[in-house]
A and B are shown apart, each in its own frame.
Chain A
């Protein structure tokens, strides 16, 4: 049987702290304003795109990982209600060894054949960058003392973590994008400086305010990150899908409980503890960047879904700005 896990979307306690979707968290009940209106933990396993069979992706599947994809369906509904001008995504697989890079290419397009999962992800992308905001983030980050770079050269392949989060959040690609890199070395011995991610988050928020954008942020991170090193013959064979270990699962649940209870300030301590316990992909810094950009708001997050992908933990979570 498929062992895919889901927690109820929010607790009674957190429910009292969360704005009610469609009532007081969107433009329905509030004047349209600029700034960051919401943030989502938006994990990017290519399996989720593969399972959906979108026309942009060449491989075909028979499905799989449905609970996580249902979570993304709910994310899409909520995202439309926020009516953002731009989606700003921080992704751990645009790995930049020197500095924090921002994609300033106006119209990235091409095919992204993923070197790790080429059998699952060969995605034809064609999207538009909010260049003014991208350049503003580079400027604000640089002014904050961060090492930065503006990518203006065509030909750099857009990575699957950027595409995955953006596709899963907005498969129509009808909202402009700003894409940020993860400043670290690949894998085992690298940790992004979470302190730098605080700075990058604050710089991102200032750039959004300065340009008057109404933005939604996407942190393209999985949670617990130990996983299998082989794959079943049928990648979407859900009988092979379960947490890597109970400890990894328990670590994810502890973090999600903190998310659901709020306030987000508690996550400043919980995220590093979770990384230490589970090798969480949040060590790439995307989640810290997101919450720092939102100013660590005194609210709970809404866990829309949780599930494993090749044993890694993945949660779709919404935080709505107050």
Chain B
């Protein structure tokens, strides 16, 4: 059985990263996400265990079991923009998905195997997968983000995924924002910034702790409240629960996307920077 993933990463899920005419910060975040994809390929990752906080659920933990997810995602908020209508074609590692669901059940949680024609793939998953895997050659195992379970449950879900991976070389990726203080207006890319400086301060504080390899856990509850963190920072619980994102993380990019906090962070399995 696999005991650890070969790497872990946090990447944003806002579709602005795919804009034809991006803000400089969006372009930096997109380039950093592509860099994560390059590193995953260099590590010969077989399957990425993926959590997107934009696939949020409330009952159990859904695991995507459809072998091929092809379609076009028209975002319910960003439909007027070029990045609001995104094609996707994702290959799912179905064997691992089922094993992951079994492991979630075995851990005393409730797995829900999801395989439905027309199932809507969330914008975060589509955005991240297109940047991480622009040629569409990767394989994915995807789990939803239960917003009603305790945030620590996502750590147990990640552990179950790594344990279920068997002989595979897997990486763990969470698609999530940081602070969620969106600019509540239509803006041009050049106008993007943190309107809430306290959110920015908290994001930087937490990213500094990640860089230093400090335990972010004790900060999480205060951070989640103070910066209205995306899904109460369940992404971090998922990444640390995998057993991989426990050492110093390399912050490849950080900045605002429509006022929300976004970062790309990389954790190698051996704790050394790439």
Q: Are A116 and B79 in contact (CB under 8 A)?
A: no
Chain B interface, >50% SS class: loop
Q: Are A117 and B185 in contact (CB under 8 A)?
A: no
Is A204 in contact with chain B by the CB < 8 A criterion?
no
Is B33 in contact with chain A by the CB < 8 A criterion?
no
Q: Are A155 and B60 in contact (CB under 8 A)?
A: no
Q: Are A95 and B118 in contact (CB under 8 A)?
A: no
Q: Kindly state the separation between the CA atoms of A99 and B78 in the bound complex, as whole angstroms.
A: 11
Taking CB atoms, residues of chain B closer than 8 Å to A155 are 72, 74, 79, 85
Q: Are A116 and B76 in contact (CB under 8 A)?
A: no
Q: Are A153 and B148 in contact (CB under 8 A)?
A: no
Which residue on B lies nearest to A181, using beta carbons? B76
Taking CB atoms, residues of chain B closer than 8 Å to A227 are 58, 148
Taking CB atoms, residues of chain A closer than 8 Å to B149 are 229
Q: Give the contact-size bracket for chain B.
A: 35 or more
Q: What string of 1s and 0s marks CB contacts (under 8 Å) between A131-153 and chain B?
A: 00000000000000001010101
Taking CB atoms, residues of chain A closer than 8 Å to B183 are 98
Q: Are B147 and A231 in contact (CB under 8 A)?
A: no
Binds A, one of B20-28, B40-48, B109-117: B109-117
Is A97 in contact with chain B by the CB < 8 A criterion?
yes
Q: What string of 1s and 0s marks CB contacts (under 8 Å) between B43-84 and chain A?
A: 000000000000111111010000000001011110110001
Q: Give the contact-size bracket for chain A.
A: 35 or more
Binds B, one of A69-77, A183-191, A252-260: A183-191
Q: What string of 1s and 0s marks CB contacts (under 8 Å) between A221-232 and chain B?
A: 000000111110
Q: Are A97 and B77 in contact (CB under 8 A)?
A: yes
Is A111 in contact with chain B by the CB < 8 A criterion?
yes
Taking CB atoms, residues of chain A closer than 8 Å to B180 are 185, 189-190
Which residue on A lies nearest to B115, using beta carbons? A118
* Residues of chain B in range 183-210 having any CB-CB distance to chain A below 8 Å: 183-186
Is B127 in contact with chain A by the CB < 8 A criterion?
no
Q: Are B228 and A189 in contact (CB under 8 A)?
A: yes
Q: Kindly state the separation between the CA atoms of A156 and B120 in the bound complex, as whole angstroms.
A: 10
Say whether, besides A115-B57, A189-B180, A229-B59, A96 and B76 are in contact (CB < 8 Å): yes
What are 21 of the A-B contact pairs (CB < 8 Å)? A96-B76, A98-B182, A98-B183, A98-B184, A99-B186, A113-B116, A113-B120, A116-B59, A118-B114, A147-B184, A149-B80, A151-B79, A155-B72, A185-B180, A185-B228, A188-B147, A189-B224, A189-B225, A189-B229, A227-B58, A230-B59
Residues of A whose CB lies within 8 Å of any CB of B are 94-99, 101, 111, 113, 115-119, 122, 147, 149, 151, 153-157, 159, 181, 183, 185-190, 227-231, 310
